[in-house]
Amino acid sequence: MNNIQKNRWKDQAFKYWGIFCTIIGLVLLAVFIGDILIDGILRIDWAFITDLPSRKAENSGIYTALMGSIWILLLTTIIAFPIGVAAGIYLEEYAKNNKLAGLLEINISNLAGVPSIIYGLLGLEVFVRIMNLGASVLAGSLTLSLLILPIVIVATREAIKAVPKSIKDASFALGASKWQTIWHQILPASSGGILTGVILALSRAVGETAPLIVVGALAYVPFAPSNPMDEFSVMPIQIFNWISRPQSGFIENAAAAIIILLGITFIMNGIAVYFRNKWQKKWK
């Protein structure tokens, strides 16, 4: 076998290996989703979404957990979005070459790799105890904000980096200041990328369980939170709680709740993909 044939063979082999790996992932996901759908799809109705939790499986609903998740999502967005985007802008546009920026950069990449339960412990100490927020929606949101901040910052930087330098040059050459250039050119041009990153980060946050358990989210709350200082539960904790019950009715509930949680993350990812495509088109 000569070299060309060998390379061709390697090329083919790698291609099939790649296809095989992709299929494994997809098949596993399909089996999982199929299994969950079989277990839970029939359990989903309007009452399931609007009912409060109950001791009886057939009367239980996800209302409080769903509302808790929505509260957490909203507050986390409000907290993490401005801080993360501002930090990304600072690192990319202002502090490019100083030592502080280098230090921050290493720290941010490290933070992105810290296990989420560590954030939970941090949140427990700082927000719940020192700041005395208790096991509230606010404490949970602050904790999740810390968790997704590195992702938001990195996404913001990548989106800003993708803005063509020629646009910045044009703005500066017309007498725009740095901030004017950021506000009028860079941010509009990178907003799609930033939104994509933020939504993906949030869709991770909505599935997080461990840090919220540590912060003190409850498995059973009788009412949906009505202000940021209320106690709360979230969907993943509700699911975890139902799965650990022996009655088969709760297993069915858990499957149904998983379907809804999956639906939420799929929709969020879909929106992210939509923004990404729209944003890419603008530049081509």
Pick the binder of another protein from 49, 111, 134, 172 (CB under 8 A).
172
What is the C-alpha separation between 59 and 235, in angstroms, rounded? Answer: 17
Which span sits near another protein by CB under 8 A: 9-17, 55-63, 104-112, 166-174?
A: 166-174
Contact status: 278 vs another protein (CB under 8 A): no
Contact status: 173 vs another protein (CB under 8 A): yes
Integer CA distances (angstroms), 193 to 54, 87, 159, 161, 201, in order:
42, 15, 5, 10, 12
Q: Which is nearer to another protein, 4 or 174 (CB)?
A: 174
Contact status: 171 vs another protein (CB under 8 A): yes
Q: Which is nearer to another protein, 3 or 166 (CB)?
A: 166
Which span sits near another protein by CB under 8 A: 31-39, 180-188, 207-215, 256-264?
A: 180-188
Contact status: 90 vs another protein (CB under 8 A): no
What is the C-alpha separation between 37 and 159, in angstroms, rounded? Answer: 37
Pick the binder of another protein from 18, 34, 102, 164 (CB under 8 A).
164
DSSP, residue by residue, 97-138: TSHHHHHHHHHHHHHHTS-HHHHHHHHIIIIIIIS---SBHH
Pick the binder of another protein from 180, 226, 247, 280 (CB under 8 A).
180
What is the C-alpha separation between 169 and 152, in angstroms, rounded? Answer: 26
How many Å is the Cα radius of gyration of the chain?
A: 23
DSSP, residue by residue, 212-237: HHHHT--S--SS---STTSB---HHH
Least Å from the CB of residue 166 to another protein? 4
Positions that interact with another protein (CB under 8 A): 96-97, 164, 166-167, 169-177, 180, 184-185, 188-189, 282-283
